[in-house]
Amino acid sequence: MREFFSSRRSILAEQNYPLHIILFIVTLLTTFWAGAFWTGHDVRFDPSLFIVDIAHGVPYGLSLLFFLGTHEFGHFSAAFIHRMRSTLPYFIPVPPLPFLLSLGTLGAVIRIKDKIPDTRALFDTGVSGPLAGFTVALGLLIYGFTHLPPIEYIYTIHPEYEVFGGIPSPPPEGSLFLGKNLIYLLLETAIAPANAPPMTEMYHYPFLFAGWLGCFVTALNLLPVGQLDGGHILYAMFGKKGHRVGALTFLVIIFLLGLPSLVLLLMELFASFTTFSAPEVVLEWSWPGWILWAIILTRFLGIEHPPTIHDHPLRPGRQLVGWIAIVIFFLCFTPVPFGIT
C-alpha cells in the first residue's frame, strides 16, 4: 500500500504545473476569442473593449475546453491507476485566423512516459478518454437542443435574414456547412425536429457547435488505426492480426470515401485553367479530406501497433466496454464533416 501511494505521489510531483496552467489560460483566451467570432462578434483590440468582446465566446470556449479536459483526464486517470508516469494535459492554443476554421485550439494531449505494461492497461488508457469525452459531448448536444434560442437570435448575427423573412433555403452559395453524424441526427429528430438550425448556421449556436466538435474529435480519436485511441482498443480486443486487418480495412473505406470528390475537385481546378468542362456533379457522401487523413495515418502516424510487455486476452467486461466504444465511433463518425455550398 505504501508503494502504491508513493508511486502516485511521484507522478504528481513530476508535473510542470506552471506550463500546464499557462497553456490552459492562453487556450481559454483563444477559445473565447473564437467563440466570439462564431457568434458574430468582432473582437476589438482596445484594452477597454477586448474583454467585453471575448466574453461573448465564453459558452463556446468553456464547453469545448470542458470536453477536451474531460477526454484527456480520462486518459490520465487510467494511466495513473495503472501506475504509468504521464503528464497532465497540455492544451494547445491557436489564435483565430481568418483563413482557417478558427476553433481557438488544436486540442489537448498528454504524454505517457512509460511503456504500457499489458493489454489491460493499454485498453483502459485507450478507451477512457473517448468514453469520458463522449459523455460531455452528448450532454452538450442535449443541452443545446433543449435550450435553442428563438429565431431572433440568428438575426443578431445575420440581420439580412430578417429582411428576407428567415433563414434562406437553399443557403447562399459559398456558405460553410457541417455534416450530421448519427448521434446528432438522432437527437435533432427526438428533441428539436422543427426548430433546429440548418447545418449552415449551426456553428453560431455555441453548445451545439461544441457538442458537434466533441463528437467529431471523439470519432477521430477512435479511428481504428495505429496508436490512436481506436487503435489501442482494437489491438487490445483482437490482437496484432485483428488490429492490422481492421486498420487496413478502414483505410480502404476512407480512401473510397475521399477519392471521388478529390477527382472532381482536381477536374474543376484543371477546368479553371483550360477549356476543359468539368462535370457538374454533387457528391453528398464524399469528402476529399479523407485522402489527406489517409496520407497522415499511413505516412506520419503509422498503421501498426507495437506490442505491450505482456499481451493477453481481455476479460468479457472489458470486451463489452470495447464494443460500446465501437458503437460510439459509428455514432460520431461523419462521412462529410465540412463543406462549402
The grid coordinates of residue 266 equal 482536381
Burial of 213 (0-12, 13-18, 19+ CB in 10 A): buried
Same domain, 134 and 258: yes
Residue 234: give the domain boundaries. Answer: 120-160+171-341
pLDDT of residue 316: 95
User: Buried b / exposed e across 300-339, counting CB within 10 Å, b at 16+?
Assistant: eeebebeebeeeeebeeebeebbeebbebbebbbbbbbeb
Alpha helices, DSSP H only, in the chain?
2-13, 17-38, 47-54, 58-81, 119-146, 152-157, 159-163, 182-191, 206-221, 229-273, 289-295, 316-332
165 domain residue, yes or no: no
How does the average pLDDT of the chain come out, rounded? Answer: 89
My answer on whether 251 and 237 are in the same domain is yes
Q: Which three cell numbers stand for residue 233?
A: 482498443
Say if 234 falls within a structural domain.
yes
Nearest Cα residue to 103 out of 8, 195, 11, 210: 210
SS3 call for 105: strand
How many CB atoms neighbour CB 271 within 10 A? 13
> Which of 94, 114, 134 is the last residue in one of the domains?
114
User: Which residues in the chain land under pLDDT 50?
Assistant: none
pLDDT at res. 294: 92
Q: Are residues 145 and 287 in the same domain?
A: yes
- Claim to verify: residue 72 and residue 90 sit in the same structural domain: yes
User: Residues 109, 151: one domain?
Assistant: no
pLDDT for the residue 2: 56
For the segment 146-161, what is each residue's pLDDT rounded down to a tens digit? 999 998 899 888 888 8
Give a yes or no: residue 166 inside a domain.
Answer: no
Query: Is 181 a member of any domain?
Result: yes
Answer yes or no: do 129 and 263 share one domain: yes
For 20, residues 6+ apart whose C-beta sits below 8 A from its C-beta are 87, 88, 89, 90, 91
pTM of the predicted model, to two decimals?
0.92
- CA-to-CA dists, residue 322 to 54, 124, 130, 182, 334, angstroms: 40, 10, 11, 19, 20
Instruction: Please check whether residues 296 and 241 belong to one and the same domain.
Output: yes
> What grid cell was written down for 32?
473565447
Give the pLDDT of residue 3.
54
Are residues 223 and 101 part of one domain? no
pLDDT for res 15: 85
Name, in order, each residue with C-beta under 8 angstroms of 155's C-beta and a sequence gap of 6 or more.
161, 162
Residue 132's identity, in one-letter code, is A
Let me know whether 151 and 80 are in one domain.
no
Q: Which residues contact 6 (CB under 8 A, 6 or more apart)?
A: none
Identify whether residues 137 and 243 lie together within a single domain: yes
Q: Are residues 104 and 129 in the same domain?
A: no
Q: How many domains are contained in the chain?
A: 2
Query: What pLDDT score does 100 carry?
Result: 61
CB 252 within 8 A of CB 329: no
Is the same domain home to 185 and 102? no
Q: Which pLDDT score is estimated for 282? A: 61
